[in-house]
């Protein structure tokens, strides 16, 4: 039922790699403002068939990104994917939550703790420069990033 109503607005498009499996799909997020504008980011969604909506979907960022709330393995730190999940929430809530992370990163709930969140908090100008370097395909602290813009 949720799948039929998916709507990421202009910032997200949804595709189903396996047309017979509606429990797995890709959401491509592309924001038009902010530090991550100009590129698109793929997120895989896996809906636990027996457990949804009591358990949240499993979401992974497939695009390597320098972000306080997404680690280099693609794990996403979004409160509604963890302790704040409620069965009344739907897939659209998660999609909009992901989009919101690109507009308003949350350094107080970081996954990329060691450095991205601290830099975001302590030196926003330098953080912005590092994000731009990563989007242009440069390595950041020895970590290679794919050119996205």
SS3 124: helix
Using CB atoms within 10 A of its CB, is residue 59 exposed (0-12), middle (13-18) or buried (19+)? Answer: buried
Among 12, 76, 77, 116, which one carries the catalytic annotation?
77
Q: Tell me if 60 sits within 8 A of 74, measured CB to CB.
A: yes
Mark whether 77 is an active-site residue. Answer: yes
How many whole angstroms separate alpha carbon 84 and alpha carbon 81?
Answer: 7
d(C-alpha 146, C-alpha 138), whole Å: 8
Q: What is d(CA 72, CA 143) in angstroms, rounded to the nearest whole number?
A: 9
Residues annotated as catalytic (active site), given as ranges: 77
């Amino acid at each position: 039922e949720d799948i039929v109503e998916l709507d990421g607005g202009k910032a997200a498009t949804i595709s189903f790699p396996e047309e017979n499996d509606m429990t797995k799909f890709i959401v491509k997020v592309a924001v038009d403002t902010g530090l991550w504008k100009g590129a698109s980011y793929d997120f895989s969604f896996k809906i636990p068939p027996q457990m949804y909506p009591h358990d949240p979907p499993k979401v992974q960022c497939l695009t390597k990104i320098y972000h306080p709330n997404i680690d280099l393995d693609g794990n996403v730190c979004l409160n509604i994917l963890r302790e704040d999940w409620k069965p009344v929430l739907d897939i659209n809530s998660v999609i909009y939550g992901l989009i919101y992370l690109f507009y308003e990163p949350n350094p107080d709930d970081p996954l990329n703790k060691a450095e991205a969140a601290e830099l975001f908090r302590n030196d926003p100008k330098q953080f912005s420069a590092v994000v731009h370097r990563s989007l242009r395909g440069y390595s950041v602290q020895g970590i290679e990033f794919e050119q996205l813009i």
